[in-house]
Chains A and B, each alone.
Chain A
Amino acid sequence: MIDARSLQVLANFCNAAADAMAYTLMRTAHSAFVKETEDFSCQIVTREGLAFGNPRHLGAPWYSGVDYGGLLASFPAYAPGDICITNDPEAGNVATHTPDIHIWKPVFHEGEIACFVVGHIHNTDVGGAVPASLSRSLSEIVQEGVRIPPVKLIEQGVENPYIAKLIRANVRLPEQNLGDLAAQIASVNIGERKMGEIIRRFGFETFLQGVEAILDHAEAQARQALSKVPDGEYFFADYADEDSPEGLPARVALTLRVQGDAVELDYSGTDPQLGSSLNMPTGGRERHALVMVGLTYVLGTLSPGIWLNAGTLRAARAVLPEGTMVNAAPGAAVGMRSLTCALTQIVTQGAFAQALPALMPAAAPGGNAIMNIRTAARNGRPAMASIGPVGGGGGATPFADGGDGAGGTTGFLRNTPIEISEAEVPIHFLRYGLEPDSGAPGRWRGGLSAVMEFRVSAPETVVTARNRNRSIMAAWGLQGAGAAGVSRFVKNPGQAGEVNLGNTDLVRCGPGDVIRVVGPGAGGWGDPFSRPPELVAADVRRGAVSPERAAADYGVVLRGGTVDMPATEALRAAPRPAPETISHGPERRVFEAVWTRARYDLLTAFLAGQPVSWRFYLKHRVFEAVAAAPDAPPEPQMREIFARLCARYGLDAPA
């Protein structure tokens, strides 16, 4: 019997088994994704598919509460020695884009299944229309590479050779995929052995009972944390800059309902699924790991040391309307779902910030640009390299400045050393570091953004900034802090041929071209005029804030590096607009002056009544119509637009 005295013992053993799987994976995997960015997961899941054992320090932090139920049900029966594989987001909604290859293996004890050992690796390439398989511009999942429906890769210890042939025939770097797959197999085999030992140590029945106790304890911890959140309904929305290349903003909306020790995450109001690849294939599952990441962060912050597993999520359920960005219908492209997932984290933080204003930090801006370069070496040989993420800092907290360069929900990424990048590809870096004045002002300052600038030396060079966002709409601040600056992507800055690349994520370059990327700023916390002047002076000394911004944003006047108190007091006493609880950047203010919440609600209701395949198209037509007459009274205008569109396209008019 596992009880309050022995619960941590079983949990330690199970987490150790997951650790062993992760270490084995890292030791034997081939690709940089595993070794440098740790984009993989390993779990121990119940017979029903609920994760109860996770690595403590390794792997991507999004999957601690994953539910493999949809995949486990792919087969009517399992035998010892089976290992199953899929990367199909439409099968069981566990894989969430095609590069994520998941495998799972049953752990038997005396003829009965005790649990499953599972995991995934983000493969660098799984074929499809573009190298690395991911691009915002793709519009159908069939463009995103080979899909392997759930199949037994190994059946009772005998490998199905067709799977390796299928992979080899469809991907760009088959040795890397197959090397990583071998690592995954080694990983689940280690997991199976470790779990077998644990089950024998505790006994089958005790183990099963103990696993439930682990899930129950995590649930109780989560509920205890949530019971301290005031009951109520909290709405928050945020936007991806573009729903397609040169497109419109794409909104993710969340109504957080807190009641007692439980929460509901209602994503109604989120935009219809897109004709680009920013869709999330959740299948509408109410505890899908991808829509719960933000909640996991909030709980991990409110209760450090909380156990994170599928039990954690029992206190929550999500509402994911079908045919929206957070629950795309089959067929939709989903490759860049990480950009949208970052938005779900941001709106979750925004909603909790209203419920717990004294505790929640401003959100990290999301939209970390994953920089890749394809160029040619001096000998003409093609050279490709991932030269690291360039993103914003962490949002300011109620107690401290945000982390510089990375923090909050984007703090798990590692960078690539400049010396490694320069040794691998013939580019010359001019700058890598932190961008002054990029952290939003506040009583506590948002973290500074990263900046990267480099010169290209070969023709036909392609630079991609995948996952970049927030070059139009800035990250928000809290409790009177300022909003942040936006991300910038510029070719040949300060030169005659300077090109502002706007929100694009790909640019072609030739010898001598210089590329500069600045991550989006992170929001501040609290009124910047209440920031102690000596902290502002220290920021100026270290180059984080310019003297001009110190005066303009913080009302602090410096003379010879020290604070001029009379001038500062005078500046701070001057009249100014009242600080807002949540402050947005100018682009969002302009947008929301037209697209009010009420107007957006009308759009959401209208689109929800139309066929999924029409919604993205209709959204664009409605936006065009509104843009033609932005000052008309919204309700009659929207009804008129909807009626006109329905008549024109022969669609059912709204009720």
Chain B
Amino acid sequence: MGYRIGVDVGGSFTDFAVLDETSGEMLALKVFSRPEEPGAEILAGLAALAERDGVTPAQVGYFTHGTTVGVNTVIQRSGPKLALFATAGFEDVLEVARLKIPEINNLYSRRPAPLIPRERVFGIAERIGADGKPQRAPGRADVAAHLAEAQARGAEGVVIAFLHAYRNPAHEDAVRAMLAELAPGLPVVTSSGTWPVIREYERSVTAVISGYVQPQVANYLDRFEAALAEAGVGVPAHITKSNGGVMALDQARAEPVQMILSGTASGVIGAGHLARHCGFDRILSLDIGGTSADVAVILDGVPQFGTGELIGEFQIHIPSVAVTSVGQGGGSVAALDGLGVLKVGPESAGSTPGPACYGRGGTRPTVTDAMAAANLIGHGALGYGAVSVDHGAARAAIAPLAEGLGATVEEVAASIVEIAVSSMYAEISGLISRFGIDPREFHLFAFGGAGAMLACFVARELDMKGVVVPPRPGVISALGGVIADLRNDFIRTLFLDLDEAGVRALAAPLAELEETGRAWLAEQGHDGPAAISVSADMRYAGQSFEIEAPLEAGWIAAGNAGAIAQAFHAEHDRLFGHANPHAPVQLVNLRLVVSGPTPKPAIPRPAPAEGPAMPERHVTGWFDGLAHEVPLYQRADLRPGHRLAGPAIVGQEDTTTVLPPDFALEVDAFGNLVLTRAPRA
């Protein structure tokens, strides 16, 4: 038996989650990220684990990794010069996008410039019909001429995205083959190979992003792999995916778009796994960092999935864990507007220069400064000793606002927190409405550096059941990588009427999808059992949108159109509150998810409390502008069974949990802090 390690590389810190397969114990480690020297943080972390915990690379039996290198490439627009080969007549697909501009009330607003400028888009004379039948085949001379022009204009790679390629990839594949002959070694991406769904802009932009991040991701993965080899880790590594699963390194090189949101997705997977094991079936995960708060809905440990997640200025259309990102975090800046009204965000001090109280050059007051000025955080080193809090600097940054508002620094600090929380409330309540859930049945599962600091304030406004702060909130994403399953999505767009003939036409595509799925799993080196789930995107004839309903494979084998339609009606009724069982149904996409389960750690149960919890000391903290004597506890001193009444502060090296006066805390059997609103006296 050895160790399973998950590593999540973030902007500032790299987190290691280490599972001891023998004991089931989880270790955590945080080191600084080294964006200028990829792989260095891996070596540093492995060295620290060996020294601190005696975990040697040879003992590592499983290694997963998530990184933001793909997202950063898009945000910084630092990818290669690509050419797009589109169907002739439709060369403006990226320029036109879906037309709508980002800020509809601002006459200056424009859509972002595409990642491939128009002069490197070329129309190929080819066409496939909506029925998938080829109408005009691409010609080699045409392709060769456009390739020459593309290369003359500096293209270092080609993205091929033709109309109706989701239905029939033959032309994309043919042009890819021609390019392989004409320009061996030139990177080429096809839209059907990336994610073959109907809607040309969405499919094209996803393929473009895939091609755009590919060189930097591949380069990063090479260095990462070299670092692992150098350290002596003998097992092949896995890479975490946007869909919450993991894949082998070679697939990550070939399909880098799959890993683009892996950090946020892993966090949700980790949160879901932990919460479910600890008995919390319905949670909203809340991951608050410096610039944003990420929220996801998790039912019975399973996140919601969607497409259209935002990468920089672009939406990406591959199956991803659905995460709503709120532009409010610990670094959101507070200021008075031109009329003297206090506003918080959307501007953020980020991690550089950061909050004023971190003493790294920031001078403008942030939400973190408001918490520091209220003396609710900063009573011990944060970020594993990387950051210390200067309360005086926080107060000094807020003082000008207090003067402008004719209030005390503490009152203004309370208002800053209240405004930031109300913004989070606004966004999260939108998410709640979108999914149609009742927050009173949900716990808020708080992690990230600032999640536990603000969670009670957010849960109070949302009227949630309570807040859960796991023992190690800093390593949830890394943990998510360790426990994630091998997982891949497959889709076939069919666009057929769901009648007897239609359902007969499903059997062959389903068999193909299943075969492809099992082959994929084998390629990842998986030899255990495979879990296969099938679903379909369906709609009423004439409706302009589809909803996904789970199917049983047996229905297709038996030609049972009625059962499939019934599954759709039921899902329609669940989501929309009405269904029309007599209306004809169209099946747009057939989907299949294959997964290979990985071993899950037992969640350790710490030794229960022996005697009451003892505060380290008391501090004067301010809630709603009023001073309280607040006991300060160390997280390590809180054991299962301990109960506290608010107000209280719980410090630990990766976060601070703030318990307002109207909340109570209980430590559950797994060491989670469970915070609930005390019934009013």
Binding site for B on A (CB under 8 A): 4-9, 12-13, 15-17, 19-21, 23-24, 26-28, 30, 32, 35-36, 56, 61, 175, 179, 182-183, 186, 190, 194, 197, 217, 220-221, 224, 296-298, 300-301, 304, 308, 349, 360-361, 384, 389, 394-395, 397, 399-400, 402-409, 411-420, 422-423, 428-434, 450, 453, 538, 541-544
Q: In the complex, are the beta carbons of B418 and A420 less than 8 A apart?
A: no
A selection of 13 A-B contacts at a CB cut-off of 8 Å is A5-B405, A5-B412, A6-B415, A8-B422, A16-B427, A27-B575, A296-B105, A297-B107, A395-B107, A403-B101, A417-B200, A419-B199, A433-B92
Q: Which residue of A8, A399, A403 contacts B111 across the interface (Cβ within 8 Å)?
A: A403
Q: In the complex, are the beta carbons of A19 and B577 less than 8 A apart?
A: no
Distance between A561 CB and nearest chain B CB, rounded to angstroms: 10
B contact residues around A538 at 8 Å (CB): 119
Given contacts A411-B101, A423-B495, A433-B95, contact A418 B425 (CB under 8 A): no
CA distance A30 to B572 in the complex (A): 11
CA distance A415 to B200 in the complex (A): 12
Q: State which of B285-293, B431-439, B645-653 sits at the interface with chain A.
A: B431-439
Given contacts A23-B433, A182-B578, A224-B339, contact A30 B425 (CB under 8 A): no
Q: In the complex, are the beta carbons of B104 and A420 less than 8 A apart?
A: no
CA distance A221 to B338 in the complex (A): 8
Q: In the complex, are the beta carbons of B344 and A8 less than 8 A apart?
A: yes
Contact digits for B394-427, partner A, Cβ 8 Å, 1 yes 0 no = 0000000000010100011001001100110111
Q: Does B90 count as interface, using CB distance less than 8 angstroms?
A: yes
Give 9 A-B pairs besides A400-B110, A429-B90 with Cβ atoms closer than 8 angstroms.
A5-B342, A28-B577, A56-B426, A175-B580, A298-B107, A409-B107, A417-B200, A419-B166, A428-B129
A contact residues around B101 at 8 Å (CB): 394, 403, 406-407, 411-412
B contact residues around A413 at 8 Å (CB): 99-100
Q: In the complex, are the beta carbons of A308 and B422 less than 8 A apart?
A: no
Q: In the complex, are the beta carbons of A8 and B96 less than 8 A apart?
A: no
Contact digits for B160-174, partner A, Cβ 8 Å, 1 yes 0 no = 000110100000000
Given contacts A6-B415, A217-B339, contact A422 B89 (CB under 8 A): no
Q: In the complex, are the beta carbons of B89 and A406 less than 8 A apart?
A: no
A contact residues around B202 at 8 Å (CB): 417
B contact residues around A407 at 8 Å (CB): 101, 109-110
- Cross-chain pair count, CB within 8 angstroms: 220
Q: Which residue of A12, A432, A542 contacts B96 across the interface (Cβ within 8 Å)?
A: A432
Q: In the complex, are the beta carbons of A432 and B90 less than 8 A apart?
A: yes
Query: 4 tightest CB-CB pairs across the interface, nearest first?
Result: A433-B92, A300-B105, A411-B101, A16-B426
Q: In the complex, are the beta carbons of B110 and A415 less than 8 A apart?
A: no
Q: Which residue of B99, B130, B422 contacts A12 across the interface (Cβ within 8 Å)?
A: B422
Q: In the complex, are the beta carbons of B576 and A27 less than 8 A apart?
A: yes
Interface size class of B (residues with CB under 8 A): 35 or more
Nearest CB to that of A220 among chain B residues? B339
Given contacts A9-B419, A32-B544, contact A419 B164 (CB under 8 A): yes
Contact digits for B110-130, partner A, Cβ 8 Å, 1 yes 0 no = 110000011100000000011
A contact residues around B578 at 8 Å (CB): 28, 179, 182
B contact residues around A24 at 8 Å (CB): 433, 436
Q: Which residue of B104, B129, B341 contacts A217 across the interface (Cβ within 8 Å)?
A: B341
Nearest CB to that of A432 among chain B residues? B90
- Residues of B32-50 whose CB lies within 8 A of A: none
Q: In the complex, are the beta carbons of B118 and A16 less than 8 A apart?
A: no
Q: In the complex, are the beta carbons of A422 and B429 less than 8 A apart?
A: no
Nearest CB to that of B197 among chain A residues? A419
Contact digits for B530-546, partner A, Cβ 8 Å, 1 yes 0 no = 00000000000011110
Q: Which residue of B98, B109, B200, B426 contacts A419 across the interface (Cβ within 8 Å)?
A: B200
CA distance A87 to B22 in the complex (A): 70
Q: Which residue of B109, B198, B419 contacts A403 across the interface (Cβ within 8 Å)?
A: B109
Q: In the complex, are the beta carbons of A197 and B580 less than 8 A apart?
A: no
- Residues of B286-320 whose CB lies within 8 A of A: none
Q: Which residue of A13, A61, A197 contacts B422 across the interface (Cβ within 8 Å)?
A: A13
Q: In the complex, are the beta carbons of B576 and A36 less than 8 A apart?
A: no
- Residues of B377-407 whose CB lies within 8 A of A: 405, 407
Q: In the complex, are the beta carbons of A4 and B338 less than 8 A apart?
A: no
Distance between A312 CB and nearest chain B CB, rounded to angstroms: 11
Q: In the complex, are the beta carbons of A420 and B198 less than 8 A apart?
A: yes
Q: In the complex, are the beta carbons of B418 and A403 less than 8 A apart?
A: no
Distance between B68 CB and nearest chain A CB, rounded to angstroms: 25
Q: Which residue of A19, A20, A361, A418 contacts B107 across the interface (Cβ within 8 Å)?
A: A361
A contact residues around B429 at 8 Å (CB): 16-17, 19-20, 194
A contact residues around B628 at 8 Å (CB): none
B contact residues around A35 at 8 Å (CB): 544-545
Q: In the complex, are the beta carbons of B103 and A13 less than 8 A apart?
A: no
Q: In the complex, are the beta carbons of B99 and A16 less than 8 A apart?
A: no
Main SS class of interface, B: loop
A contact residues around B580 at 8 Å (CB): 175
Q: Does B91 count as interface, using CB distance less than 8 angstroms?
A: yes
A contact residues around B100 at 8 Å (CB): 406, 411-414
Nearest CB to that of B86 among chain A residues? A433
Q: In the complex, are the beta carbons of B342 and A61 less than 8 A apart?
A: no
- A4, A389, A397, most chain B CB atoms within 10 A: A4
Given contacts A13-B425, A411-B101, A429-B89, contact A30 B543 (CB under 8 A): yes
B contact residues around A430 at 8 Å (CB): 89
Nearest CB to that of B198 among chain A residues? A419
CA distance A298 to B106 in the complex (A): 8
- B107, B426, B432, most chain A CB atoms within 10 A: B107
Distance between B501 CB and nearest chain A CB, rounded to angstroms: 12
Nearest CB to that of B105 among chain A residues? A300
CA distance A179 to B463 in the complex (A): 30
Q: Which residue of A179, A194, A408, A432 contacts B89 across the interface (Cβ within 8 Å)?
A: A432
B contact residues around A544 at 8 Å (CB): 118
Q: In the complex, are the beta carbons of A20 and B104 less than 8 A apart?
A: no
Nearest CB to that of A401 among chain B residues? B110
Distance between B496 CB and nearest chain A CB, rounded to angstroms: 10
Q: In the complex, are the beta carbons of B130 and A19 less than 8 A apart?
A: no
- B104, B111, B578, most chain A CB atoms within 10 A: B104
A contact residues around B618 at 8 Å (CB): none
Q: In the complex, are the beta carbons of A301 and B99 less than 8 A apart?
A: no
Q: Does B554 count as interface, using CB distance less than 8 angstroms?
A: no
CA distance A30 to B543 in the complex (A): 8
B contact residues around A32 at 8 Å (CB): 543-545
Q: Which residue of A15, A406, A417, A542 contacts B426 across the interface (Cβ within 8 Å)?
A: A15
CA distance A429 to B88 in the complex (A): 11
Nearest CB to that of A435 among chain B residues? B92
CA distance A274 to B412 in the complex (A): 57
A contact residues around B432 at 8 Å (CB): 20
Nearest CB to that of B336 among chain A residues? A4
B contact residues around A296 at 8 Å (CB): 105
Nearest CB to that of A36 among chain B residues? B544
- A12, A61, A395, most chain B CB atoms within 10 A: A12
Q: In the complex, are the beta carbons of B107 and A301 less than 8 A apart?
A: yes
Q: In the complex, are the beta carbons of B107 and A12 less than 8 A apart?
A: no
Contact digits for B571-600, partner A, Cβ 8 Å, 1 yes 0 no = 000011110100100000000000000000
CA distance A450 to B100 in the complex (A): 13
Q: In the complex, are the beta carbons of A23 and B199 less than 8 A apart?
A: no
Nearest CB to that of A216 among chain B residues? B339
Nearest CB to that of B92 among chain A residues? A433
B contact residues around A417 at 8 Å (CB): 198-202
CA distance A30 to B100 in the complex (A): 21
Q: In the complex, are the beta carbons of A8 and B198 less than 8 A apart?
A: no
- B110, B342, B422, most chain A CB atoms within 10 A: B110
Nearest CB to that of A427 among chain B residues? B130
B contact residues around A404 at 8 Å (CB): 92, 95-96
Distance between A24 CB and nearest chain B CB, rounded to angstroms: 5
Q: In the complex, are the beta carbons of A19 and B426 less than 8 A apart?
A: yes
- Residues of B239-273 whose CB lies within 8 A of A: none
Q: In the complex, are the beta carbons of A20 and B103 less than 8 A apart?
A: no
Q: In the complex, are the beta carbons of B96 and A433 less than 8 A apart?
A: yes
Nearest CB to that of B201 among chain A residues? A417
- Residues of B7-45 whose CB lies within 8 A of A: none
